[in-house]
Structure 1
Amino acid sequence: MAHAQTWRFALEEVDGSVQDAYAKEFKKRIEKKANGDVRVEIYPYGSLGTSSELTELLQQNAIQLAFASPGHLASLIPETGVFTLHFLFSDDNAVNEKVLGSSKAIGMLEEAYGEQNLELLGVIPEGWMAWTADRRIQTPKDMKGLKIRTMASPILIESYRAYGANPVPMPYSEVYSGLELEQIDGQVNPIFAIEEMGFYDVQDYLIQAKQAQFITTLVAAEDFYANLPDDRRQMLGEVAESMRSYIFDKQARFNEERLEAIRQDSNIQISTLSEEQRDAFREMSMPVRDIFIERAGERGKRILDTLEKDIQAAEQAAVE
């Protein structure tokens, strides 16, 4: 009988989050397939360190699995910054899920991860990012001078500079007090995070612009992955693949339910930008793609071009 192994799996989110739901289902499927020969231990956000520290633990082979979001990973792997570009993805989430599961761009990314001793197992969308602020935002002019908390991704920072805002990188765990103490005027996160972290308690407006998805990646430590027996590696791949549709449905429900909870629980004013309003932001966000290519180089350009083509083709197919 194979020796029972422990796989440590670290999350960038707290208990009850989308990543937590993913990890629990992943654990159940792995342990069942491994017939008890593998145990998956889940570590919620904060128990092992910040997002960047989790990636370092993976690189050192101190943990086996973790989520690594482009919001911080782009400093290490500039190509992942593609996922933080605004107005890249389709408004149709089913299109995005299909592309993230099948695009050749993901293979190019695997190469970039491998160069950093990381094994990319999957790209996972967690829903649309929304803005909360102490002011109403309908046009880029309303963003002018807004101290908005973003993750430390250089491309994210440039995206908000393009709107005239003043982006402020800050650890996730400090955002609530940053808003409460008025060190920042607003922040950007998926709906479920805004609800579970209580950000809506200390903000007046929640704005849905569908400017970007919150995307994370499931990553394994490369040494751990390389040393797995073939059958275990295959099992890991199969489970990661099977989790795609599970988490796609789960995050949609999560975000819907959490938006409803915010509505019930507060007086925050919730608005959705019109197509015309979104177009004004879209136009201002386009030059950031050149900055991305400058930072991510030739491979980054190929990844962006491939994603754009694949999204367009999938949208076309959805219409026909």
Structure 2
Amino acid sequence: MKKRMFSLILAVSMIAALLTGCGGSSGGGEQTADGEQTYNWRFAHEEPVGSIQDQYVHKFVETLSEKSGGRINVEVYPVGQIGDATQQTELLQNGGIEFAMVSPGNTGTIVPENQLFSLHFLFSDDMEKNKEIFKTSKALNEMLSAKYLEKNIKVLSYWPEGFMQWTSSKKLEKPSDFKGFKMRTMPSPMIVAAYEAYGANPTPVPYMEVYSGLQLKMIEGQENPLSAIEEMKFCEVQDYLTLSDASLYVTTTSVNPQFFDGLPEDIQNIILETAAEMEDYGFQIQAELNGGALEQIKATTDVEVMTLTPEQREEFKKASMSARDKYVGMVGEKGKEILDALVSEIEAIESK
């Protein structure tokens, strides 16, 4: 209770500071010489400078500026500058910032239905098929987005930062290898349940504390896309890197709905067009950074790189299915409807 109260006080303090420094939540600036309105907005993301999210956000901001003829100016806040990922989400909900990257792993208690992204072996192992799923899925873009909107978050797009891979202090080749294993997770009930299905001991740890946790052996392993693993140097303090492709790290490009609804229609259209155009860029940048990261890891560390065989993946997939029942138990019938619809959409695309 005290921790929650502290978080709320901190969020309120941040909002006050941001509104004071930026002229309020309307996002308006000065008028140009020809009488057109300019806009000054804020966009927070969950990762360090140079990361996938950071590059995506800067491209998003650049595109907004170009499409608006320089009328839209956006200040970018990497993680830590105005709070952690959870605090940034609270700021977005409360109107303290206009845009944020909101990842399901950090918002599972806010929008419980989004925890389907944490289920293992749900999506295709073919990223081109996943691109089609994210662009066309009604389960995500309509049904799940409605759940976000109920929590005062308007999702502009869902996109993955890559497959989640495992680093560890021992080999992880079959589900029983996880028994009692202290696996770092994000503070998501579903991620915890996913690893409990293998018999692991999931241990939530803040992202910026994972390296020291591994180094001090407070935790024994972690999961992340390859770009994050390389960027954070996790392989320096781990013995094995397992390419499991067990799940996707999915994030959302989101906006405060009251702010968005209060904008002129032409400005709204610029935002929507930019979000749509950025979908391909998100897939492109994750492919580039994750591919380069693996080569860098191999060249600069002694970590042993292993790839799960199809047979090993199937064994993990079977063990992971019990987590789907836990998901339904957590989110109820409405969440089950979203999951069932998404599974049907994925199966249809996989069968093409």
TM category (shorter chain) comes to over 0.9
User: 96, 109, 112: which is aligned to 1:62?
Assistant: 96
Q: Which amino acid aligns with 1:51?
A: A
Match of 2:46 in 1: 12
Tell me, in whole angstroms, the C-alpha distance in 2 between the residues paired with 1:228 and 1:303. Answer: 30
Matched, 1:41 2:78: no
Q: Contact 1:54 / 1:66 at 8 angstroms: preserved in 2?
A: yes
Larger radius of gyration: 2
**CA RMSD between the two structures:** 0.9
Q: Contact 1:108 / 1:299 at 8 angstroms: preserved in 2?
A: no
Matched, 1:118 2:153: yes
Determine which structure has greater relative contact order: mean sequence separation of CA pairs < 8 Å that are 6+ residues apart, divided by chain length.
Answer: 1
Q: Secondary structure at the match of 2:311?
A: helix
Q: Secondary structure at the match of 2:79?
A: coil
Quote the offset at 1:249 in angstroms: 1.3
Q: Which amino acid aligns with 2:53?
A: Q
Q: Secondary structure at the match of 1:28?
A: helix
Matches within 5 A, 1:143-162: 143-162=178-197
Q: Secondary structure at the match of 2:305?
A: strand
Structure 1 residues 213-232: Cα deviation after superposition (integer angstroms, max 9, x where no partner): 11001110121111111111
Q: Tell me, which stretches of 5 or more residues in structure 1 are unaligned?
A: none
Match of 2:328 in 1: 293
Quote the offset at 1:80 in angstroms: 0.4
Q: Which amino acid aligns with 2:45?
A: L
Quote the offset at 1:2 in angstroms: 2.7
| Aligned length in residues | 317
User: 155, 176, 179: which is aligned to 1:141?
Assistant: 176
Match of 2:345 in 1: 310
Match of 2:29 in 1: none
Matched, 1:250 2:281: no
Match of 2:274 in 1: 239
Q: Contact 1:149 / 1:175 at 8 angstroms: preserved in 2?
A: yes
Matches within 5 A, 1:186-201: 186-201=221-236
Q: Tell me, which stretches of 5 or more residues in structure 2 are unaligned?
A: 1-34
Match of 2:110 in 1: 76
Cα separation, partners in 2 of 1:298 and 1:2, compared to 1, 3 Å = farther
Structure 1 residues 189-236: Cα deviation after superposition (integer angstroms, max 9, x where no partner): 111000001111100000011110110011101211111111111111
Q: Secondary structure at the match of 2:159?
A: strand
Q: Secondary structure at the match of 1:123?
A: strand
Matched, 1:85 2:119: yes
TM-score (norm 1): 0.97
Q: Secondary structure at the match of 1:4?
A: strand
Tell me, in whole angstroms, the C-alpha distance in 1 between the residues paired with 2:36 and 2:72. Answer: 9
User: 191, 213, 216: which is aligned to 2:251?
Assistant: 216
Runs of 4+ that moved beyond 3 A = none
